[in-house]
């Protein structure tokens, strides 16, 4: 089976169509590479929305920040699943990085156009549709296969081939101080550990068929990502309004949308490619700072999973986390700089990959 890592392919759709007897080691490596790309794809749009919020101590900022931490740990777990079967995640390449605006990788949820902007009702609608389960406990589901269904196929293939799990080149990161034990990036050396990791990824995003709650919370009463984004979209808390039959509705306390910088939607290829005049040197320096830092983070993550020595892997991972943290300041400064088109919108990070 030829390994395809093009972000703009339909590889997930093709992998999902494969028969059980075709789901071998090569199938699993391809699927997990696509899973790594999927997890990365959610981070830039979620971060843009988070960083656009003026009061970073607000409840809404805290809710989105928890989701970002979850997605970071999901990326780590997906990468560990790939290396434990002998593969290596590919992130630092023009073909594998997310393209905005555009579809999710592999052709999953093809009706969605993922974009980078500040926090708006449109971005919250997009985020909830990314995380949407096949059978949500409230509001109808999408007609397309969910990300959770893709992870179910990966889970089933691991169960068919547990002998592929070697525990090779695993990275580790304790996350309880940032969000809770459910977010730890752990070593995956057995089928049981892999199954638990897949459960965390699926249920933190989608909840379960019986409940909107996150079974692996960092904080008590935390909802799965889909339901958090729907609460923010509706501006009302999701509460159980009936026990028999069980019914959940957005009928709880009001949720006020926080004040946010009016970051515009980044055009394909970056701000200048969208027909705007060239930004002034200070703005261009800040755009470059985010692009370069983001790209270096991806290179360091690749190096962490490539390393055979545990100490080297952990050092590269720590450096990648540092790069991630350093992105917020130039990104938020960009959101305070007006676009030169009189729209009232502001710049924001482009999250474009650069080779140097």
Tens of pLDDT, residues 42-58: 999 999 999 999 999 99
Dihedral pair phi/psi, residue 309, rounded to 5°: -90, 130
Q: Decide: 126 and 48 in contact? Cβ < 8 Å.
A: no
194 vs 93: CA distance, rounded Å: 27
The answer to whether position 5 is within a domain reads no
Which residues, 6 or more positions from 156, have their beta carbon under 8 angstroms from its beta carbon?
20, 23
The answer to whether position 88 is within a domain reads yes
The answer to whether position 76 is within a domain reads yes
Dihedral pair phi/psi, residue 32, rounded to 5°: -75, -30
Say what the pLDDT of residue 141 is. 63
The answer to whether position 77 is within a domain reads yes
Say what the pLDDT of residue 352 is. 97
The answer to whether position 61 is within a domain reads yes
**CB count in 10 Å sphere of residue 178:** 15
Residue 44 sits in which domain range?
Answer: 11-264
Tens of pLDDT, residues 148-182: 889 999 999 999 999 999 999 999 988 755 555 55
Say what the pLDDT of residue 2 is. 41
DSSP string for 134-169: SS-SSSPPPSSPPHHHHHHHHHHHHHH-GGG----S
Tens of pLDDT, residues 283-328: 999 999 999 999 999 999 999 999 999 999 999 999 999 999 999 9
166 vs 26: CA distance, rounded Å: 15
Q: Quote the mean pLDDT of the chain.
A: 91
Rg (CA), the chain: 20
**CB count in 10 Å sphere of residue 194:** 23
Residue 1 pLDDT > 70: no
The answer to whether position 282 is within a domain reads no
Q: How many domains does the chain have?
A: 1
The answer to whether position 294 is within a domain reads no
The answer to whether position 313 is within a domain reads no
Q: Is the pTM of this model over 0.75?
A: yes
**Taking the alpha carbons of 230, 232, 234, 237 in that order, is the dihedral positive or negative?**
positive
Q: Decide: 286 and 152 in contact? Cβ < 8 Å.
A: no
User: HEC string of 29-96?
Assistant: HHHHHHHHHHHHHHHHHHHHHHHHECCCCCHHHHHHHHHHHHHHHHHHHHHHHHHHCCCCCCCCCCCC
CATH number, domain containing residue 52: 1.20.1260.10
């Amino acid at each position: 089976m030829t390994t395809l890592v093009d972000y703009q392919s339909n590889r997930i759709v093709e992998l999902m169509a494969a028969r059980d007897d075709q789901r071998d080691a090569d199938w699993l490596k391809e699927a997990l590479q696509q899973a790594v790309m999927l997890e990365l794809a959610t981070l830039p749009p979620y971060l843009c929305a988070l960083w656009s919020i003026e009061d970073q101590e607000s409840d809404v900022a805290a809710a989105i920040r928890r989701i970002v931490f979850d997605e970071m740990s999901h990326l780590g777990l997906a990468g560990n699943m790939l290396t434990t079967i002998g593969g290596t995640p590919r992130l630092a390449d023009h073909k594998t990085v997310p393209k905005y605006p555009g579809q999710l990788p592999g052709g999953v949820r093809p009706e969605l156009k993922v974009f980078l902007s500040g926090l708006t009702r449109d971005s919250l609608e997009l985020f909830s549709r990314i995380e949407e389960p096949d059978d949500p406990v409230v509001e109808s589901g999408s007609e397309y296969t969910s990300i959770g269904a893709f992870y179910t196929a990966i889970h089933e293939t691991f169960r068919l081939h547990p002998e592929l799990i070697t525990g090779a080149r695993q990275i580790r990161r304790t996350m309880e101080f940032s969000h809770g034990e459910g977010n730890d990036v752990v070593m995956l050396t057995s089928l049981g550990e892999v199954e638990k990791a897949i459960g965390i990824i699926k249920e933190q995003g989608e909840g379960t068929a019986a409940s909107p709650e996150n079974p692996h919370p960092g904080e008590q009463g935390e909802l799965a990502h889909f339901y958090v984004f729907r609460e923010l979209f509706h501006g009302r808390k999701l509460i159980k309004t009936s026990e028999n039959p069980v019914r959940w509705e957005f009928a709880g306390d009001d949720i006020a949308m926080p004040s946010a910088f009016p970051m515009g939607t980044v055009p394909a290829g970056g701000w200048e490619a969208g027909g705007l005049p060239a930004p002034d040197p200070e703005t261009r320096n800040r755009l470059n700072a985010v692009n370069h830092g983001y790209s270096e983070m991806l290179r360091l993550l690749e190096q962490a999973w490539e390393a055979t020595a545990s100490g080297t892997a952990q050092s590269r991972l720590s450096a990648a986390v540092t790069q991630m943290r350093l992105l917020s300041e130039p990104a938020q400064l960009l959101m305070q700089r007006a676009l030169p088109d009189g729209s009232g919108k502001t710049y924001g990070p482009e999250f474009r990959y650069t080779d140097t």
